[in-house]
Amino acid sequence: MTIPSDLPAWVAILTSVLVLLGAGLTLIGVIGLLRLKTFYARVHAPTLGTTLGIGCVLLASMLYFSAVESRPVLHEILIAIFVTITTPISLMLLVSAALRRDWTEGDPSVPRPPDLPSGDETP
């Protein structure tokens, strides 16, 4: 990819800062995934990358391509919307699966399941 020479300096600086910030936050999230101890604590770490991390990268992309093509480029908003909708759902599914497993195994560190009548598994 070639960078046009007439790109204003403030766009170049702001874009690099935003990209580095987003990538840094995602990296911290990955480190957290590695460092935190329990499964439930680990679920928290990737959300750094999927909220502010991706937000910064998308802002940088919008800024850079709007400057290069000298028209507003906004379709990155769609990525933000779909990531915001889908990530919590997959995280909730993972946590629910872990919780059901721990309930069946009788793990004492997990809160007891609500008393359900006759094994009715309504969530």
Partner 1 sequence: MTRFFPYPFLSAFLLGMWLLLNQSLSPGHVLLGCIVGIAGSLAISTLQIPTGRVHRPLAMLRLAFIVLFDIIRSNIAVTRIILSPSRTAQSGFLSVNLDLRNEYALAILACMLTSTPGTVWVNFDSRKGVLLLHVLDLVDEQTWIDLIKTRYERLLMEIFE
Q: Can you tell me the distance from the alpha carbon of 93 to that of 97, in angstroms, rounded to the nearest whole number? A: 6
Q: What is the closest distance, in whole angstroms, from the C-beta atom of residue 4 to partner 1 in the complex?
A: 20
Nearest to 55 by CA among 84, 87, 94: 84
Question: Nearest approach, Cβ of 32 to partner 1 (angstroms)?
Answer: 4
Q: Which residues bind partner 1 (CB under 8 A)?
A: 25, 28-29, 31-32, 35-36, 38, 40-41, 43-45, 47-48, 50-52, 73-75, 77-78, 84-85, 87-89, 91-92, 95-96, 99, 110-111, 114, 122-123
- Name every residue whose Cβ is closer than 8 Å to that of residue 89 and which is 6 or more positions away in sequence: none
Closest to 94 measured CA to CA, from 36, 35, 42, 18: 42
Nearer Cβ to partner 1, position 15 or 25? 25
Q: How far is the CB of 5 from partner 1 (least distance, A)?
A: 25
| Neighbour count for residue 26 (Cβ, 10 Å) | 19
Q: Copy the structure tokens of residue 56.
A: 């910064």
Least distance between partner 1 and beta carbon 76 (Å): 9
Of 16 and 84, which CB lies nearer to partner 1 in the complex structure?
84
